[in-house]
Structure 1
């Protein structure tokens, strides 16, 4: 279906892991920050 532009090898596995973790944390950050923003908005 889709051909990856970069192949994961033993040399660059760490970079793939860090990149994946950063994308996961960015996606998870909105789950945490949205209720915090809403709560601070309601309390003000």
Structure 2
């Protein structure tokens, strides 16, 4: 029981970190594309 709980905690933490990493990369790409688009207009 203790091993499964530890595995669930590790999986949840790794999944959360992975989601945060992908969200950060997506936000950076979105900001870069928006900045490029804004520079093309301006």
Q: TM-score, normalised by structure 1?
A: 0.55
Paired residue for 2:40?
42
Distance 1:41 1:20, change over 3 A: same
Higher relative contact order (CA 8 A, sep 6+): 1
Aligned length: 37
1:10 aligns with 2:8: yes
Structure (1/2) with the larger helix percentage = 2
Please provide the CA RMSD for this pair.
Answer: 1.9
The answer for unaligned runs of 5 or more in structure 2 is 1-5
Give how far 1:37 is off. 0.3
